[in-house]
Structure 1
Amino acid sequence: MDSIANMIIGIKNAGNAGKEFVVLPYSKLKEAIANVLLKEAYVKSVSKKKRLNNKILEVGILYEDDVPKIQGVQRISKFSKRVYQKSGLLKPFKSGYGKVILSTNKGILTDRQAAKEKVGGEVLFKIW
């Protein structure tokens, strides 16, 4: 399993287990993804910390009425099969209730942000 899949599944599973936060190994890509999830109100907090000689990323889980905000995730682009999407072909996911997260030349963006800025990119995952 790749690091992005490990991150999003870890956040989802922590929410289903009732945890307050999840600790993940740090990378700039994971921090950028976590910040997009924070802006889109899928997580409560994101903080970078240092433990011994390793950097970690602590992600706070967001709940609505004791139910985790993240109900499901689906990894789209993988090492074995990269999936790219043009800006004109980006469509709303789950009638606008879900988000598609993309890696573009302007950074990590949601499908709406990418369509607004008219950029395409690698489709990382879907979240709802």
Structure 2
Amino acid sequence: MTDPIADYLTRLRNAIRANRRIVEIPASNLKKEITKVLFDKGFIQGYKFDDSTAQGTIKIALKYNPSTKLPAMVNIERISKPGLRKYAKASTLPRVLNGLGVAILSTSKGVITDKEARSLNVGGEVLCYVY
């Protein structure tokens, strides 16, 4: 597997399209940080890190609207890829859906959203867009 973050996002996307409640993903430190950001922003219902195996797994409980059964994440899109990395300065950080979505960045301050990066005045690698 050449791009584990793309695999992580694809597993989330496929689980949402199949209306699954829980998805299990192989763990890494970057995936754990992305999961924490998704939870903090309300895109997933919960998560659990399971370190019983050598690599470990992440169990993510997906969030759906109870009345309409629509998922909280409509789209999740990989931006920076191994073949073409995308970086943004603090002054040119992207706005996803005019502020309704979230761009997840890897910065010197850790994995944070675009809004947090603007307030800290830091730039970094744009990992993905979520809305």
**CA deviation profile, 1:33-83 (whole Å, cap 9, x unmatched):** 000000000111111114454411101101113111111122111111111
Q: Look up the match of 2:22.
A: 21
Does residue 75 in structure 1 map to residue 78 in structure 2? yes
* Structure 2 CA distance for aligned equivalents of residues 122 and 47 of structure 1: 26
**CA deviation profile, 1:93-118 (whole Å, cap 9, x unmatched):** 10211111100001001100100110
Q: 4+ residue runs of structure 1 moved beyond 4 angstroms?
A: 51-54
Does residue 63 in structure 1 map to residue 94 in structure 2? no
Give the TM-score normalised by the residue count of structure 2: 0.91
Identity of aligned residues (%): 32
Instruction: Describe the shift of the 1:21–1:80 C-alpha distance in structure 2 as closer, same or farther (beyond 3 A).
Output: same
Aligned positions of 1:1-128 closer than 5 A: 2-64=3-65, 65-128=68-131
RMSD: 1.3
Which letter maps to 1:17?
Answer: A
* Structure 1 CA distance for aligned equivalents of residues 62 and 45 of structure 2: 5
Instruction: Describe the shift of the 1:102–1:54 C-alpha distance in structure 2 as closer, same or farther (beyond 3 A).
Output: closer
Instruction: Describe the shift of the 1:117–1:20 C-alpha distance in structure 2 as closer, same or farther (beyond 3 A).
Output: same
The answer to which structure has the higher strand fraction is 1
Partner of 2:23, secondary structure, is strand
Give the TM-score normalised by the residue count of structure 1: 0.94
Partner of 1:69, secondary structure, is coil
Q: Point out where structure 2 has 5 or more consecutive residues left out of the alignment.
A: none
Instruction: Describe the shift of the 1:81–1:54 C-alpha distance in structure 2 as closer, same or farther (beyond 3 A).
Output: closer
